[in-house]
Structure 1
């Protein structure tokens, strides 16, 4: 076997190709040819160096990654705290509106007194105001129910507002006498704001604690 043919076969075998010569024939030639043995050893060494080389140095990014993650967590915690505080004070504002509405509904309900309205009509109007106050109080303590009560409160507030505008425009009543209907609009606005937030029936007083930002170590 010629040295040139042996070296071509060795190169093919190192590349995982068919050398075209039996391994036994190659081994016999290598045993008798020092030059081809040196070629085989050198080729194997070059192949190993090309296949296995030191990994390139990579900068340690652990500290900046952890710092960025911690900053993101702090921002998320602060945003959650602001949202909780806003929801908390919205519920307290709605509580004030509901209690005021309740107080205004009791005289017509109990005594049948509402401006110049007949006793029966005054009590019916007081009943509607009382129903609205009860609905608002329910949302104060069960905010998850807000969305379902928006249509009722909206229809009632709109009807009251339209009636008030007609009465004022026709001179049947003074504008200041109908100013209490603004309370219904404020209650409707607060109800709408609460309905747009994720449902959360946490106790009202729990908001004092939850409104403070917290971040686990």
Structure 2
């Protein structure tokens, strides 16, 4: 019988694999074939040396790899900055909405007080200002509402600001009363900024509520 199957069995035994024959048959052949016996010894010695050999020296490339990496992942940095700005806008709008409600509520509940307007007109003014505060607070809670609130807020501001300036110049309103309208202007600016940012995300294909870089 040729020696090839037995040498394959020897190699398989060294690798811990099935022999493909019985152990007794392999041992009988090794006892009767000096060439295969010598080949088995050489294979065992070669395998042992290969397994005990030290690993080759590999240069430490950690520094080079780290130096090649960007300092920060651009997408992550953009997303983090976007979340920071969005959160700042919402908190500022929340503060403006609370302040606006704080001014409107007493007028709505108690009437004109020191104001020279009739009671019903004071109540209407309080209701309008409280509605503005509610719009600010709603957008702060749900920024996706910014675009829908803008037509009401912008039209109200566009009408109120020139009228207030004219009344202030004519002495029909006190300066401290006119300054309270700065809350309205600040709130509208914040809502406009939120709507602009949301529109820019939609243009770049990023949903408004998704926190990923555009």
User: What's the TM-score, normalizing by structure 2?
Assistant: 0.59
Q: Match of 1:71, SS?
A: coil
Corresponding position of 2:112: 113
Query: How far does residue 71 in structure 1 lie from its aligned partner after superposition?
Result: 2.8
Alignment of 1:1-217 (within 5 A): 71=70, 74-113=73-112, 115-198=115-198, 200=208
Q: Partners in 2 of 1:167 and 1:145 — Cα distance?
A: 33
User: What's the TM-score, normalizing by structure 1?
Assistant: 0.58
Runs of 4+ in 1 over 6 A off after TM superposition: 64-68
Q: Match of 2:197, SS?
A: coil
Q: Does the Cα contact within 8 Å between 1:109 and 1:126 map onto a contact in 2?
A: yes
Q: Match of 1:197, SS?
A: helix
Count of matched residue pairs: 140
Q: Match of 1:196, SS?
A: helix
Q: Partners in 1 of 2:183 and 2:106 — Cα distance?
A: 17
The CA RMSD over aligned residues, in Å, is 2.6
Q: Partners in 2 of 1:123 and 1:201 — Cα distance?
A: 37
Q: Partners in 2 of 1:111 and 1:185 — Cα distance?
A: 25
Give the 3 Å change call, closer, same or farther, for CA 98–74 of structure 1 in structure 2: same
Unaligned residue ranges in structure 2 (runs of 5+): 1-63, 199-206
- 1:161-209 CA-to-partner distances (Å, cap 9, x unmatched) read 122112112111222221000110000000001111236458xxxxxxx
Give the 3 Å change call, closer, same or farther, for CA 200–67 of structure 1 in structure 2: farther
Q: Does the Cα contact within 8 Å between 1:141 and 1:201 map onto a contact in 2?
A: no
Q: Match of 1:173, SS?
A: coil
Which protein has greater RCO, CA pairs closer than 8 Å, 6+ apart? Answer: 1
Q: Partners in 2 of 1:86 and 1:110 — Cα distance?
A: 36
